[in-house]
Amino acid sequence: MELYEVMRTTFAAREYTGEPLSDEILYEILENARFAPSGGNRQGNHLIVVREDETREAFIKLLEPAAKRYQAQAKAGENPWNTISPTEVTLDEIQNTPAPMRLMEPYKTADVLLVVTVDLRVVASTDQYLDRIGIISGASIYPFVWNILMAARQAGYGGTITTLAAAAEPSIQKLLNIPQEFAVCAVIPLGKPVKQLTKLRRLPVEQIVSCERFDGAPFTKP
């Protein structure tokens, strides 16, 4: 599969056949994904491969409160976990909302869970003084995450980027013996997808790229 095809067809796979993902193939995926860039090439990423059922069950249980909030906010018409628009959903409403299957099931059915962490002592946060949520430090870890998904796609496997674990970071750190200096950035459920999508719905270039200014003319194909 050529690079452009991988880029255009790597989708969020949440349903899996149950076909095993061998350590041999997983190693090949990670061996290629590790060449992702990071700030200053400091390479603060550390990934944990979770296969044991007992650990997985404990992990899933820790994610349920975050999944419940996500579902309660979505049901109320809010953008879940958004920092710009504070939630009006009450704690009781969140607690009484079942954790949605579509969010929880991939953690149960994927052949392996990849827990991605990054060493906060080596990432740059050039937006740390701005009056908004910081996002810049993610540039040192999410290229690695995306490389994993593209490499998995190339190998005939798939997964999705999930971030519910960040809401339970202290508990996840304790469960997996993650040092306090390492942030939990993402969890990737990985397995053989039930369906291999080949056409994704994405906005055209003209809607996401402008010339010279944010409100400039759309950048169009010559």
Q: What does the pLDDT read at residue 140?
A: 95
Q: What are phi and psi of 183, to 5 degrees?
A: -85, 145
Average pLDDT, the chain: 96
Spell out a b/e string for 175-190, using b for 16 or more CB atoms within 10 Å of the CB, else e: bbebeeebbbbbbbbb
Q: What does the pLDDT read at residue 86?
A: 87
How remote is the C-alpha of 164 from its chain's centroid? 9
For residue 211, pLDDT over 90 is answered with yes
Q: If you write DSSP's letter for every residue of 52-106 in order, what string do you get?
A: -HHHHHHHHHHHHHHHHHHHHHHHTT--TT-SSS-----HHHHHTSPPPHHHHHH
CATH of the domain at 95: 3.40.109.10
Q: Is residue 67 part of a domain?
A: yes
Across the range 169-174, mean pLDDT stands at 97
Q: Is residue 35 part of a domain?
A: yes
The predicted-structure confidence for 29-41, as pLDDT tens digits, reads as follows 999 999 999 999 9
Q: What does the pLDDT read at residue 81?
A: 95
Taking the model in full, what pTM does it have? Answer: 0.94
Confidence of residue 197 (pLDDT cuts 50, 70, 90): confident
For residue 198, pLDDT over 90 is answered with no
Domain interval for residue 186: 3-193
Q: What total number of domains does the chain contain?
A: 1
Q: Is residue 221 part of a domain?
A: no
Q: Is residue 199 part of a domain?
A: no
Q: Is residue 33 part of a domain?
A: yes
Q: What does the pLDDT read at residue 67?
A: 96
Confidence of residue 1 (pLDDT cuts 50, 70, 90): confident
The owner of tokens 């994610």 is 63
Please name which of 146, 68, 72, 80 lies closest in space to residue 114, comparing C-alpha atoms.
146
The predicted-structure confidence for 77-123, as pLDDT tens digits, reads as follows 999 999 998 899 999 999 999 999 999 999 999 999 999 999 999 99
Q: Is residue 127 part of a domain?
A: yes
Q: Is residue 47 part of a domain?
A: yes
The predicted-structure confidence for 117-152, as pLDDT tens digits, reads as follows 999 999 999 999 999 999 999 999 999 999 999 999
Q: What does the pLDDT read at residue 150?
A: 97
Spell out a b/e string for 142-166, using b for 16 or more CB atoms within 10 Å of the CB, else e: bbbbebbbbbbbbbebbbbbbebbe
**In degrees, to the nearest 5, what angle opens at C-alpha 65 toward C-alphas 114 and 20?**
25
